[in-house]
């Protein structure tokens, strides 16, 4: 033991000496005009020195070449351009194209999608994917040099640095969806491809970070902002961490380093058209956030404007500057009296700081930068109003070479209804914090998202839906070569500039300016390409997250409608044949699924009763989809998911889960069976601050007995949940079988006929709502099985075997099931039942056939219609390459986030319909969308555990005491992990150095490490 301690201490001393040598502070400056990563550089300024200019602005066609790509390119993923190569991340790999002619340089094909743009540094491409791999590739050939596998997918663009803070060694900095921020040795580093250090945020890291002066800035899914030192010295990693900030989790983009500040864009806080949500606001003319904002501005401003036009100022480049008096009042902090009497601001027009759109954070301490221009003692914020779709984040600002911050935001002109509100790009100078200079050459509808980028003294805008791109000089005095102009204006395809560029896209017949359109890929699923319709299913539109123009060597590049478009002044080359998908396979290590399931169940037990899942998706046709717009509001969702989990959790957790389920049953089932949980009870599934109007409105929605959102008044799928509860949880730890059966009996119903004014037959109704069809079938299956269980009958028993008092209900349920079960095979279709003219209705095209599908129904469908099932699953996975990603940032309609219904039901469909093995399923196991109580994720874990495996059942690994990184060794790396979490509370166990799982990392854990240390 003495020798082991001596060796260990010598290792530690050497290790700490090595780490301390990295702690030199310096700035990281971009030295290249290449746009070599998302946001151009580590500070994410979206500015490069490259300044492409175009003569004869309104007369020339500057589309140099364009090339459709078959694999889906996410809307928020930027192109990267280095050394005349355009790098394109897609749902099926990374492509390198010749920037001069669009020809393929090389492809790196993957089975699972890449997560974000690559970063090119010193001839090496670094890119992460949802296969958990961070890849290092040769930039010229695409040859793989190495990869590092994490415990989750990479959806962030990596930062690659080499400066004094890294001891002039190349370091790759990137967050992962597993909740860790990683520093991985880059090519040439002594630890190339290995973890140099990692930091546990305890919450998924889904967006990209920014870097400057030795500090890395990022946010997590709980809306906390972080500042970490990149020095390998673990003892001083933290600079600061904020509390959770208001709004939905930040998505798609990155923070921006600006002078001594870092700017984070806020995501939409209000569910569009919902209560609680945007319909909770005081608004006029509609129920969207913008309507409420417009009402308030009209109440504050006598002339309906945001402030006083001061004309051009010395710093504004000849553009008019507005003193944002009324925007300031709108976003200013409330008085103490207002906080007490009207905390949600329902009775006033101004003082609503929770509606600000950006957080400007001081780099020094993580506090928010505010000021008080009118000396009233109330803090003021960046006076920018919203310009985005009905969900998702504001687009990141750009930092110009002139030192100004350029921001997309709204401006108001005149009092409604005759006045207008438009989206403008403005410039902000912190020396005059309450003023904005507006680029008044060009403005747009403010619910049409816009992306911005900069090259030299030019600012470029790209409006959603391929509508237009525009060039604006930062100084009006630069001359005619820099005068504002549009490269195209709603006419990219139809004007002859790029005919057929949108080969992978379908624009619906009644689409307004490409508003209703979708990615469809290259395959025609009907073999009738002459009609222009390849599929009736839709997946992604471009009216949410956006990507910007990228300048490179006299050209501009962008992807629109899944085509790469190059703009330049050389001879046009026209359309390059599309780049097809090449099939690839990948592997993901099978995690300890039981441990993951335990963690998710423990989170729910620790929290107690939960509210439904609040998720801002944007337009979601509330009138059409009803209760599907609110996640887990049905008490049956919780009972079913946790009952299915019960047999698979650790034995020491089962009694706690049984008690938790008893509390659920007492609250929502026993005295009365409720259809919804309501919003008045329980705690949030995702504990971030909600807008006060939303919090206030929670109290107006208690749990209810009946719902009118479907043919049923009570969700019939809940009867299946009661059966699984009775089947899996011992009767000694719950209500008796007889009591559960009586609850089910009181709620089982015959299938009614649909409203005749809308649907001629039940078949027609179920064609449009296949998920409800599934729910009815599951309900009858559950009811009949619960009845058998209660009366100890076998699976082949008849209704006549029951007591006479129960035979009628059995016969009725059996008759209804026999009627609608074969009907399910008759009406099953891979094709959407919605007309191709309303994009919002296509949001559920991916999961609609599989929502509320039980394993028994899946087995029946495979037996009866195997070809239909295989065709449907093949098409959906081709079209929706990111279906398994929770909170994925692309969607149909005016939205930035896909429905959460995708990643649960389709995961079970792959297991039950395609009979995929565990090793294949875990590739598509992402992370929870909520901090706790993500029932989709819990069911996915159960499904993976129950799936057959090439290696048999998942063995529960026996952890090695003191092994923090699960590499099978107890060494210095584990010590660094322990040290970085010393004296911290944690729920991550050994991952954070808490080797005895007492939820705190302390000296007792060090003893465990040293006892098991091996050289």
2, pLDDT greater than 80:
no
Residue pLDDT, tens place only, 307-316: 999 999 999 9
Residue range 935-976, pLDDT digits in tens: 999 999 999 999 999 865 444 445 678 888 766 668 776 786
For residue 999, the model assigns a pLDDT of 67
Q: What is the pLDDT of residues 609-621, one digit of tens each?
A: 999 999 998 777 5
Q: Over 60: is that where the pLDDT of 694 sits? A: yes
DSSP characters over 819-844: HHHHHHHHH--SS-SS-TT-GGGGGG
- Indicate the average pLDDT of the chain: 90
Choice between 969 and 26, residue whose per-residue pLDDT is larger: 969
Over residues 133-151, the pLDDT tens digits come to 999 999 999 999 999 999 9
Tell me the per-residue pLDDT of 647-674, one tens digit each, with 9 for 90 and over: 999 999 999 999 999 999 999 999 999 9
- Rounded to whole angstroms, the Cα distance separating 291 from 446 reads 12
pLDDT at 622 over 70: no
The predicted-structure confidence for 160-213, as pLDDT tens digits, reads as follows: 999 999 999 999 999 999 999 999 999 999 999 999 999 999 999 999 999 999
At 765-811, the pLDDT tens digits run 999 999 999 999 999 999 999 999 999 999 899 999 999 999 999 99
pLDDT at position 953? 46
Give the residue among 484, 481, 483 at the shortest CA–CA distance from 470: 484
Q: What are the structural domains of the chain?
A: 2-30+110-245 (2.40.128.630), 246-449 (no CATH), 593-946 (1.50.10), 972-1012 (no CATH)
Count Cβ atoms within 10 A of the Cβ of residue 114 and give its class: 0-12 exposed, 13-18 middle, 19 or more buried.
buried
Band of pLDDT at residue 32, cut at 50, 70 and 90: confident
C-alpha–C-alpha distance, residues 384 and 388, integer Å? 12
Q: How many CA atoms lie within 13 A of 916 on its CB side?
A: 19
pLDDT at 24: 22
Q: Are strands 171-175 and 180-185 parallel, antiparallel or unpaired?
A: antiparallel
pLDDT at residue 835 tops 90:
no
Per-residue pLDDT for 820 more than 90? yes
pLDDT at 508: 80
% of the chain exceeding 70 in pLDDT = 91
pLDDT the model gives residue 861: 98
**pLDDT range class, residue 29, cuts 50, 70, 90:** very low
Predicted local distance difference test score (pLDDT) of residue 837: 60
- Strand 398-399 versus strand 405-413 pairing type: antiparallel
CA 346 to chain centroid:
31
Tell me: the pLDDT tens digits for 973-1013?
678 687 777 887 776 678 778 887 766 788 887 877 777 77
pTM of the model: 0.90
3-state secondary structure 562-619: CEEEEECCCCCCEECCCECCCCCCCCCCCCCHHHHHHHHHHHHHHHCCECCECCCCCC
DSSP-derived secondary structure for 475-502: SGGG-GGG--EEEEES-TTTTSSSTTTT
Q: Which residue has the higher pLDDT, 13 or 751?
A: 751
Q: Does 593 score more than 90 pLDDT?
A: yes
Q: What is the arithmetic mean of pLDDT over 231-242?
A: 86
Residues 6 or more apart whose CB falls under 8 angstroms from that of 417 comprise 285
- Other Cβ atoms closer than 10 A to 149: 12
Backbone angles phi, psi at 806, to 5 degrees: -110, -5
Q: What CA–CA distance (Å, rounded) separates 890 from 72?
A: 11
- Per DSSP, the three-state class of 181 is strand
The per-residue pLDDT for 419 is 67
């Amino acid at each position: 033991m003495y020798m082991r301690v001596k060796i260990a201490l010598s290792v530690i001393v050497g290790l700490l000496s090595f780490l301390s040598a990295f702690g030199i502070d310096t700035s990281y400056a971009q030295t290249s005009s290449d746009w070599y990563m998302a946001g151009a550089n580590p500070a994410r300024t979206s500015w490069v020195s490259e300044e492409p200019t175009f003569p004869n602005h309104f007369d020339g066609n500057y589309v140099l070449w364009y090339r459709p790509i078959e694999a889906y390119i996410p809307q928020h993923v930027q192109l990267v351009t280095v050394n005349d190569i355009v790098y394109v991340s897609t749902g099926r790999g990374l492509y390198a194209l010749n920037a001069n002619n669009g020809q393929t340089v090389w492809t790196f094909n993957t089975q699972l999608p890449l997560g974000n743009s690559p970063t090119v540094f010193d001839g090496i491409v670094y890119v992460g994917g949802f296969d958990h791999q961070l890849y290092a590739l040769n930039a010229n050939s695409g040859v793989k040099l190495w990869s590092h596998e994490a415990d989750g997918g990479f959806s962030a663009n990596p930062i690659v640095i080499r400066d004094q803070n890294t001891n002039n060694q190349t370091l790759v900095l990137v967050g992962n969806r597993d909740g860790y921020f990683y520093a991985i040795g880059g090519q040439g580093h002594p630890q190339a491809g290995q973890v140099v250090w990692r930091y546990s945020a305890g919450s998924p890291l889904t967006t990209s970070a920014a870097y400057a002066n030795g500090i890395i800035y990022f946010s997590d899914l709980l809306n906390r902002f972080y500042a970490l030192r990149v020095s390998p010295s673990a003892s001083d990693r933290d600079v600061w961490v904020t509390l959770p900030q208001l709004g939905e989790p930040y998505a798609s983009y990155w923070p921006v380093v600006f002078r001594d500040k870092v700017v984070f864009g806020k995501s939409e806080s209000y569910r569009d058209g919902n209560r609680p949500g945007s319909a909770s606001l005081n608004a006029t003319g509609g129920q969207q956030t913008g309507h409420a904002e417009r009402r308030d501005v009209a109440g504050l401003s006598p002339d309906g404007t945001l402030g006083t036009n001061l004309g051009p100022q010395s710093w504004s480049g000849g553009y008019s500057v507005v003193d944002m008096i009324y925007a300031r009042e709108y976003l200013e902090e409330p008085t103490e009296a207002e906080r007490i009497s009207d905390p949600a601001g329902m009775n006033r027009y101004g003082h609503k700081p929770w509606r600000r759109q950006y957080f400007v954070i001081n780099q020094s301490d993580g506090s928010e930068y505010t000021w008080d221009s009118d000396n009233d003692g109330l803090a003021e914020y960046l006076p920018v109003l919203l310009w985005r779709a009905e969900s998702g984040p504001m687009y990141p600002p750009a930092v110009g070479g002139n030192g100004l911050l350029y921001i997309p935001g709204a401006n108001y002109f005149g009092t409604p209804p005759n006045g207008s509100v438009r989206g403008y790009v403005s410039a902000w100078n912190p020396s005059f914090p309450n003023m904005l200079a507006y680029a008044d050459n060009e403005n747009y509808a403010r619910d049409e998202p816009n992306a911005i980028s900069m090259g030299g003294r030019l600012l470029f805008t790209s409006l959603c839906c391929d509508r237009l791109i525009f060039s604006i000089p930062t100084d009006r005095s630069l001359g005619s070569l820099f005068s504002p102009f549009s490269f195209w204006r709603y006419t990219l395809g139809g004007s002859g500039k790029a005919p057929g560029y949108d080969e992978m896209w379908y624009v619906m017949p009644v689409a307004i300016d490409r508003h209703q359109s979708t990615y469809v890929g290259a395959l025609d699923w009907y073999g009738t390409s002459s009609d222009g319709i390849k599929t009736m299913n839709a997946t992604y539109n471009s009216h949410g997250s956006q990507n910007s123009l990228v300048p490179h060597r006299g050209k501009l590049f962008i992807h629109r409608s899944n085509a790469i478009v190059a703009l330049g002044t050389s001879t046009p080359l026209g359309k390059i044949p599309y780049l097809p998908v090449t099939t690839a396979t990948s592997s993901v290590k099978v995690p300890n699924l039981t441990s993951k399931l335990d963690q998710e169940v423990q989170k729910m037990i620790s929290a107690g009763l939960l509210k439904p899942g609040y998720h801002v998706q944007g337009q979601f046709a509330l009138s059409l989809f009803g209760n599907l717009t609110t996640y887990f509001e049905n008490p049956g969702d919780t009972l079913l998911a946790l009952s299915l989990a019960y047999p698979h959790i650790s034995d020491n957790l089962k009694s706690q889960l049984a008690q938790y389920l008893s509390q659920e049953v007492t609250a929502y089932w026993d005295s009365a069976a409720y259809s919804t949980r309501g919003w008045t009870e329980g705690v949030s599934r995702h504990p971030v601050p909600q807008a006060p109007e939303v919090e206030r409105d929670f109290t107006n929605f208690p749990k209810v007995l009946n719902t009118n959102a479907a043919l049923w008044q009570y969700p019939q799928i809940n009867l299946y949940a009661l059966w699984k509860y009775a089947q899996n949880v011992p009767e000694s730890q719950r209500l008796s079988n007889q009591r559960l059966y009586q609850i089910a009996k009181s709620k089982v119903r015959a299938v009614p006929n649909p409203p005749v004014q809308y649907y001629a037959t039940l078949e027609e109704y179920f064609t449009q709502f296949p998920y409800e069809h599934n729910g009815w079938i599951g309900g009858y299956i559950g009811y009949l099985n619960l009845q058998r269980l209660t009366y100890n009958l076998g699976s082949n028993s008849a209704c006549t075997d029951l007591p006479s008092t129960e035979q009628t209900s059995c016969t009725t349920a059996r008759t209804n099931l026999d009627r609608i079960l074969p009907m399910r095979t008759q009406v099953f279709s891979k094709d959407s039942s919605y007309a191709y003219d309303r994009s919002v209705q296509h949001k559920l095209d991916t999961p609609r056939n599989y929502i509320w599908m039980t394993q028994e129904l899946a087995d029946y469908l495979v037996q009866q219609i195997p070809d239909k099932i295989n065709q449907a699953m093949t098409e959906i996975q081709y079209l929706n390459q990111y279906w398994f990603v929770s909170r994925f940032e692309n969607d149909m309609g005016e939205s930035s986030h896909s429905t959460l219904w995708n990643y649960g039901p389709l995961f079970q469909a792959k297991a039950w319909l395609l009979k995929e093995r565990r090793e294949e399923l875990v590739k598509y196991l992402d992370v929870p969308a909520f901090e706790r109580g993500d029932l989709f994720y819990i069911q996915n874990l159960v499904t993976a555990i129950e799936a057959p495996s090439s290696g048999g059942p998942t063995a529960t690994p026996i952890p090695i005491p003191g092994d923090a990184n699960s590499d099978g060794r107890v060494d210095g790396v584990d010590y660094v992990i322990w040290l970085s979490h010393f004296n911290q509370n944690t729920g991550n166990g050994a991952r954070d150095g808490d080797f005895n799982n007492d939820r705190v990392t302390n000296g007792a854990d060090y003893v465990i490490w040293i006892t098991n240390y091996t050289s």
